[in-house]
């Protein structure tokens, strides 16, 4: 009998379908204990901008082909590295 492999996906839907039809005890020999966090929670921060500031950020982000939130994140990371 062929052994089922653990799914290699980050899709919650795919994982849910898999575990709906499988039992953890089928994979006891593949389990390992870990002592560090698996999921790192992000913290959302709200910043208030004037409309013209938000438009300028969107324009710059668009010219770079990235979402405005990614551009702001990049700016924060750059500033934190020099702090």
pLDDT digits (tens, 9 = 90+) for 46-78: 999 999 999 999 999 999 999 999 999 999 999
Q: Rounded distance, CA 32 to CA 45, Å?
A: 35
DSSP state of 31: -
Question: Residue ranges of the domains in the chain?
Answer: 51-82
pTM for this one?
Answer: 0.54
- Report the alpha-carbon distance of residue 6 to residue 27 in Å, rounded: 8
Q: What is the mean pLDDT of residues 1-28?
A: 86
């Amino acid at each position: 009998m062929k052994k089922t492999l653990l799914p290699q996906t980050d899709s919650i839907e795919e994982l849910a379908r898999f575990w709906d039809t499988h039992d953890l005890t089928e994979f006891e020999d593949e389990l390992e204990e870990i002592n560090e966090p698996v999921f790192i929670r992000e913290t959302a921060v709200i910043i208030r901008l004037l409309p013209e500031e938000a438009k300028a950020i969107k324009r710059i982000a668009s010219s770079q082909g990235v979402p405005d939130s990614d551009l702001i994140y990049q700016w924060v990371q750059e500033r934190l590295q020099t702090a």
